[in-house]
Structure 1
């Protein structure tokens, strides 16, 4: 008697058929999995990504940057040349252009006018004394001639015995007295002449002081500062502030500081582009003076740059200048691609994905690039940033810069 129910007996053939079909499928699975690696082979290992750049032939301009303040090339100080007089008029203001001899201010001359009147009287008195002395000399000379003639006659009479000794003595005394009066008249003339010369000298001094009551510009230029004030007393003391400051001929220049290492590249007459503070365009100038001295503390030297055409620039304002020291077409690299070692500058070139360090010789530098004088040709690939942690022979994946 069968133990299976009729339902199971009917399902058994189907279950056996499914089991038979499943066995080949499981047997084929390992074969399929063993063929998967052959369909997808692994890629070879590569180095890190490194940014690179290319050596280019470009125009390179080397320049030196300087900065400083605008100053007057020559500043003329206008001070009073007469002391103790008050200022009664101011005829020029800051910023005015003046010519040589132009009156800038006037001082009170009342006291000097009084002194001049007194001096004129002294001169007139001396001239009158001279005239009187000349008249006295003429009179004394006439009396002297008369006295000498009388004495000579008396002497002749005494020798012949016709004149007394008393008469002779009287005539002799009269002659000597006439001689003394003539000498006195001449001395009076000399004194009167000296008085007149002194009065005239005093008059000349007063005339000079009167002329100096007009404060004049000693040289043409532009007034940069005025300290003169109405009613103030003019003083000639060295500690006193000048009444006016004049920029001689309006010439303004840049007094700039420059690093001592850049001084050997500078020469007189080099063009300079000067940009004052707030200016939109640079002014043209040239190096006029290079100081032979370098500050021991700051290690900075000084240069003076004359501006072309004397443009109106505020004295004391800040300005910077760019001095071109070299210009050429050459193979260049960014400064970031150059490494500086004890043996000299080097670059890391890239050839077939490998790093090769190469020594180079540098030339001009400017605008963030440097001239490669020797050691590298145009078009070669180098690591863009020196100091990247790669060495000779390392494999890299070059990534070009834009």
Structure 2
């Protein structure tokens, strides 16, 4: 009996010990879970101001085409020597103003005067021979009518007369040629303008077609621009363009801006060999203060399109496909979009997008990349004050 009581007591003690151990383990686990829960950081909440987001809206985009080229005068001419000889009387230099028909220089005419006299003397000699042949022919014809000579002799006289007349006409033509050469010794400016370059010096012997000076008329300036063949398809005569000229150009007294308007006046129908590019010519609205050879760049307005658009900076390209950071139900969602044409709206570069709804709230490009699923909150408009996005722990 005593032994059975002893075993019962031992069993009770074991049960109590085991229960205490189990309770201690449970308490430790609960404590660890509570400690882990208390140590877990609060979810980060990004507060976005009104300046940190944009809304997708339908906008009328001005479809533009970037263009660049070189300024050149519409009217320019290179004055070349039409005869060979010593250049005399050249006094104009770069920057001098000349008029159309103004004598610029001369080729020494002494040799050409001598040739002119020689050709005239030869013409006079040929005329005298033609007169002799004419008298012989008239005499032989009278003799043939009287029957004193044969018809063959008259035919010979006719041939001699024709040859003499032809020789006389050839001599007169030579006189005309020499007269033209003598006139060509005087070099005159073909257009009004300014001398842009002088290629020869007084006293220098120049050959035929040797360049003497170049004259440019700066009253009308155009831009010779090069476009890719695919881009040139959209360009039409009459389209408007806005250009900026190298070095700032001339200040427009009306608008106070240094940009200048231009109009497409010609499109070359042939692509250039090798590059396959197409030349487009734009005439400037004003030419004052510009010089030939300056560099110009800008854009041509090739059309307008009404489409859903976002600022170009709001479309992210750090992934294989373009996407936007969409704000949906207080979370950031990376939404892939399809982009279209670029254009200008209210002075800002916009891009057409597809894949989001009109009115969707998108994080602006001024805000950095946010992780997909990040919690965000839009600050009240009155309290935003245009401050940048700020991160703070959720309460």
TM-score between the two structures when normalised by the length of structure 1: 0.63
Q: Give distance in 2, aligned partners of 1:302 and 1:181.
A: 71
Which of residues 304, 322, 325 in structure 1 aligns to 2:281? 304
Query: What is the aligned length?
Result: 327
Contact 2:229–2:271 (Cα < 8 Å) also in 1 = no
Matching residue within 291, 305, 308 for 1:314: 291
Counterparts of 1:38-187 in structure 2 under 5 Å?
45-49=42-46, 51=48, 52-55=52-55, 61-73=62-74, 75-82=76-83, 84-90=84-90, 93-95=93-95, 96=97, 98-99=99-100, 101-136=101-136, 175=148
Contact 1:65-1:322 at 8 Å conserved across structures: yes
What is the CA distance between 1:205 and its match in structure 2? 1.2
Distance 1:312 1:191 in 2: 65
Task: Report the alpha carbon displacement of residue 206 of structure 1 after superposing the two structures with TM.
Answer: 0.9
Q: Is the 8 A contact 1:54 1:378 kept in 2?
A: no
Q: Give the number of the structure whose alpha-carbon radius of gyration is greater.
A: 1
| Counterparts in 2 of 1:141 and 1:85: CA distance versus 1, 3 Å | same
SS of 1:90's equivalent in the other structure is coil
TM-score normalised by length of structure 2: 0.64
Name the counterpart of 1:388. Answer: 369
In the aligned structure 2, how far is the partner of 1:55 from the partner of 1:332? 9
| C-alpha distance 264-388 of structure 1, shift in aligned 2 (>3 A) | farther
- Are 2:232 and 1:271 equivalent residues in the alignment? no
**Contact 1:116–1:206 at 8 Å: present in 2 too?**
yes
> Structure 2: 5+ residue runs without aligned partners?
1-37, 252-257, 388-395
1:387 and 1:75 map into 2 onto residues whose CA distance is: 54
| Contact 2:313-2:364 within 8 A present in 1 as well | no
- Deviations 1:4-58 (CA, angstroms, capped at 9, x unpaired): xxxxxxxxxxxxxxxxxxxxxxxxxxxxxxxxxxxxx999933153654132767
C-alpha displacement of 1:374: 6.3
Distance 1:78 1:391, change over 3 A: same
In structure 2, the CA distance between the partners of 1:379 and 1:323, relative to structure 1 (3 Å rule), is same
State the 1:194 CA deviation: 3.8
Aligned residue number for residue 375 of structure 1: 356
| Alignment check: 8 A CA contact 1:65 1:323 kept | yes
Matching of residue 233 in structure 1 with residue 205 in structure 2: yes
- Write out per-residue CA displacement over residues 241-277 of structure 1, whole angstroms, 9 at most, x where no aligned residue: x223344796432223456775555443321112221
Structure 1 residues 190-201: aligned runs within 5 Å: 190=162, 192-201=164-173
Contact in 2 for aligned 1:339/1:386 (Cα 8 Å)? no
Kindly provide the CA deviation profile for residues 316-341 of structure 1, in whole angstroms up to 9, marking residues without a partner as x: 22221222345578765443332359
1:245 aligned partner? 214
CA RMSD between the two structures: 4.4
Task: State the distance in 2 between where 1:244 and 1:54 align.
Answer: 60
CA distance in 2 between counterparts of 1:226 and 1:345 reads 56
SS at match of 1:231: coil
Would you say the 8 A contact 1:55–1:332 is kept in 2?
A: no
In 1, distance between residues paired with 2:273 and 2:193?
32
Distance change in 2, residues 1:97/1:53 (3 Å): farther
Q: Contact between 1:336 and 1:386, CA under 8 Å: does it hold in 2? A: no
Please give the secondary structure, in 2, of the residue aligned with 1:375.
coil
Q: Which residue of 1 aligns with 2:326?
A: 349
Residues 65 and 50 (structure 1), Cα distance of their counterparts in 2 relative to 1, 3 Å cut: farther
Runs of 5+ in structure 1 lacking a partner? Answer: 1-40, 149-174
